[in-house]
Amino acid sequence: MGCRVKEDEKLLIYEFMPNRSLDTHLFDPARRPELDWGRRFNIIQWVARGLLYLHHDSYLKVSNILLDENMNPKISDFLLALIVQGTQHLTNTQKVVGTL
């Protein structure tokens, strides 16, 4: 949603996702019942829309799918922030970063 840079402090601001990521619900037996077939179908449709938007094949992991208060999915890639952290003084990189 935004970012802030102040001296050595750099922050990325993401939308709050109270239901965490899709893997939380798929692999936790206590939370799995929250994913009824209507919600699963909705998640599948939104993920498909996201992949169409990306216009290329994606190796998306379920831990990169975050769920909001209405169980609507959001595709995210937090690894990108970790990879770029070591080269944060650069504006351009010579290697591919983030999820393939």
User: Strand locations in 1-100, DSSP E?
Assistant: 2-6, 9-13, 65-67, 73-75
25 by Cβ neighbours in 10 Å (0-12 / 13-18 / 19+) ranks as buried
Report the predicted TM-score, pTM, of the whole model to 2 decimal places.
0.49
- pLDDT, one tens digit per residue, over 31-52 is 999 999 999 999 999 888 877 7
pLDDT at 16 over 60: yes
Mean pLDDT of 6-34: 87
Q: What is the pLDDT of residue 6?
A: 84
DSSP string, 35-56: --HHHHHHHHHHHHHHHHHHTS
Distance in Å from the first CA to the final CA of the chain: 22
Q: In CATH, what number does 19-100 get?
A: 1.10.510.10
* Domain spans, the chain: 19-100
- Residue 7 to residues 11, 29, 64, 93, Cα–Cα distance (Å): 11, 44, 30, 22
User: What are the tens digits of pLDDT across the range 57-88?
Assistant: 556 677 778 888 898 888 776 555 444 444 44
SS3 of residue 15 by DSSP: coil
